[in-house]
Amino acid sequence: MWHDQLMVDHFPEWVREERPLLLFIESAHKAQSRPYHKQKLMFVLSAMRHFALECHQNGYPVWYESTPQSFDQGLIRLLDKHKHWKLYHMEPNEWDSIQALKQVRSHTNRVTTYNNTFFLADIDEFKDRIKSGWRMEFFYREMRRKTGYLMEGELPAGGEWNYDKENRKKLPKNLSIPATFQVEPDAVTLEVQHMIEDLFPHHFGETNSFAYAVTSHEAQRALEHFLHTRLHSFGPYEDAMASGHAVLFHSQLSPYLNAGLLSASMVCEAAIRYSVQHEIPIASIEGFIRQIIGWREYIRIYYHAMMPEIRTANYFGFTEDLPQLFWDADTSLNCLRQCIKPVIEDAYAHHIPRLMVMSNFSNLTQTDPRQLNEWFWFSYIDAYEWVVLPNVLGMSTFADGGILASKPYVAGGNYINKMSDYCSSCTYSVKEKTGDSACPFNYLYWNFIDDQRETFQQNGRANFMVNTFDKKSVEEKQAIKNSAEKFLKQLPRNWSP
């Protein structure tokens, strides 16, 4: 069993009828390969152990192996020992798992692969178009037609394909924010927690606040909780950020979708059903469905189309190490402190902190995007290479040179101020443009536009930024360059994962 395909409903029919031996391998080698957030390890291992127990209770014989070896070495050793075993498995998503299986296949022909049923789109159908820069919006429309989700005949429900423009509201003061879904860790999870603290004490993050679902049943409760408490306001406040509220109206379902505790169709169909019964605004249900059948499926195909060359992508050629604040959130930039703290505590932040605060800062400080990608990979509960790499090297850092995103995601302090309450409690002033007390995003942004002017000038949607910079007075331009140079020189950096 792959660690990210943990649902009996996705077993082929013959497996459900014949109940063959199910093989699970926990590889310490894999867990050590990067300093994965302790909660991420807890989540993956606890979910795998729970699933093995569930299968056992349902009458499946189970072989559960813990090994210090890599996954392929462990598997080859077992297949050598048990000559009568034939291995059947669902197509994995991760490049390294695909390569590991190639190793196993070169050793024995007793391996059969069947299609991955956790996703909705066929990789081969879209791969070439996505590789040549076909945008997500057009892919998404095709997915709406294919699935029939939110369609009225040939037309999109409500008349528009996309309600993004309505979904950029700042949180009103006094809006009540629902509590997040929490699960009390059981004995299995606590045992895994002790093991992680023992074996990986120096890994990123903390374990004490762990409250994630670890079974498909609990993940379905998390889905219900989201539908009842947050779907209604998902759309309008999708881009909003607030101190002390990492989740807001987001679903926090990505860990469960990515581990195979929920599937895309299950989540979309439940959400659409709920939206019809409860008159959920079209902008909210459309926004939510777009994330799953649009972005999530597109990102997966992009990964398979672009691997393995994309791993080294670095369009701007940035070589600076990751800023130290990504490790400890110890910084006077309040937005970064507010956004990174929940990652250390719970391995989660929603899309806008990831994109418009953390990645934006990484870009503006000329940080090596591959280090940022590694950081996102080991720090987040929902990170697997197939989903983190396209989001970081494709979307948020423009490292692929514009295949996935139409322009680099960079912004000054005004954007963060508009979408959050962070700036009012910051030691820097978002209104000031240069100097020691000015918001660093302000001058770093213009410094970036000037440094990367060729990229922006070639882009019809972004060349106005260069024109705006060029219209500034000589003194203002000099002040921007001086402030940026000083900030970048003094920024502590650290790359020792």
User: Min. distance of Cβ 430 from ligand SF4 in angstroms?
Assistant: 4
296 interface partner picked from ligand SF4, ligand FAD, none, CB below 5 to 8 A per type:
ligand FAD
335 interface partner picked from ligand FAD, ligand SF4, none, CB below 5 to 8 A per type:
ligand SF4
Question: Are 168 and 418 spatial neighbours (Cβ–Cβ below 8 Å)?
Answer: no
Give the sign of the dihedral formed by CA 73, CA 79, CA 82, CA 88: positive
> Does 335 sit near ligand SF4 (CB under 6 A)?
yes
User: Min. distance of Cβ 354 from ligand FAD in angstroms?
Assistant: 4
351 interface partner picked from ligand FAD, ligand SF4, none, CB below 5 to 8 A per type:
ligand FAD
User: Min. distance of Cβ 257 from ligand FAD in angstroms?
Assistant: 5
Give the sign of the dihedral formed by CA 297, CA 298, CA 304, CA 308: negative
Cα 218 to its chain centre, rounded Å, is 21
User: Min. distance of Cβ 428 from ligand SF4 in angstroms?
Assistant: 4
Cα 133 to its chain centre, rounded Å, is 21
Find the binder of ligand SF4 among 180, 251, 284, 417 (CB under 6 A). 417
167 interface partner picked from ligand FAD, ligand SF4, none, CB below 5 to 8 A per type:
none
The residues, any chain, with a CB within 8 Å of residue 173's CB and separated by 6 or more, are none
Which letter does DSSP use for residue 245 in this model?
B
422 interface partner picked from ligand FAD, ligand SF4, none, CB below 5 to 8 A per type:
ligand SF4
> Does 361 sit near ligand SF4 (CB under 6 A)?
no
User: Min. distance of Cβ 435 from ligand FAD in angstroms?
Assistant: 30
Indicate the length of the chain as a whole number.
Answer: 497
> Does 426 sit near ligand SF4 (CB under 6 A)?
yes
Cα 449 to its chain centre, rounded Å, is 27
Judged by CB, which is closer to ligand SF4: 259, or 444? 444
387 interface partner picked from ligand FAD, ligand SF4, none, CB below 5 to 8 A per type:
ligand FAD
User: Which of 101, 338, 145, 107 is closest to 242 using CA atoms?
Assistant: 338
Which residue do the tokens 């139409």 mark?
406
> Does 444 sit near ligand SF4 (CB under 6 A)?
no
User: Min. distance of Cβ 349 from ligand SF4 in angstroms?
Assistant: 15
Classify burial at 112, counting beta carbons within 10 Å of its beta carbon; exposed 0-12, middle 13-18, buried 19 or more.
Answer: exposed
Find the binder of ligand SF4 among 213, 257, 356, 423 (CB under 6 A). 423
**273-281 contacts: CB < 8 A, separation 24 or more?**
274/227, 274/231, 275/231, 278/232, 280/231, 280/232, 281/232, 281/235, 281/236
User: Min. distance of Cβ 437 from ligand SF4 in angstroms?
Assistant: 10
> Does 292 sit near ligand SF4 (CB under 6 A)?
no
Give the sign of the dihedral formed by CA 155, CA 297, CA 256, CA 313: negative
Distance CA 28, CA 71 (A): 9
Distance CA 209, CA 230 (A): 22
Which residues in this chain contact ligand FAD in the complex, by CB under 6 A?
250-254, 257-258, 291-292, 295-296, 299, 350-351, 354-355, 359, 376, 380, 382-383, 387-388, 391-392, 395-396
Judged by CB, which is closer to ligand SF4: 282, or 333? 333
Find the binder of ligand SF4 among 386, 428, 446, 469 (CB under 6 A). 428
> Does 422 sit near ligand SF4 (CB under 6 A)?
yes
The residues, any chain, with a CB within 8 Å of residue 164's CB and separated by 6 or more, are 287
Over the range 466-481, which residues count as b (16 or more CB within 10 Å of their CB) and which as e?
A: beebeeeeeeebebbb
> Does 305 sit near ligand SF4 (CB under 6 A)?
no
Find the binder of ligand SF4 among 416, 444, 466, 491 (CB under 6 A). 416
55 interface partner picked from ligand FAD, ligand SF4, none, CB below 5 to 8 A per type:
none
User: Min. distance of Cβ 256 from ligand FAD in angstroms?
Assistant: 8
Give the interface with ligand SF4 as residue ranges (CB under 6 A).
333-335, 413, 416-417, 422-423, 426, 428, 430, 439-441
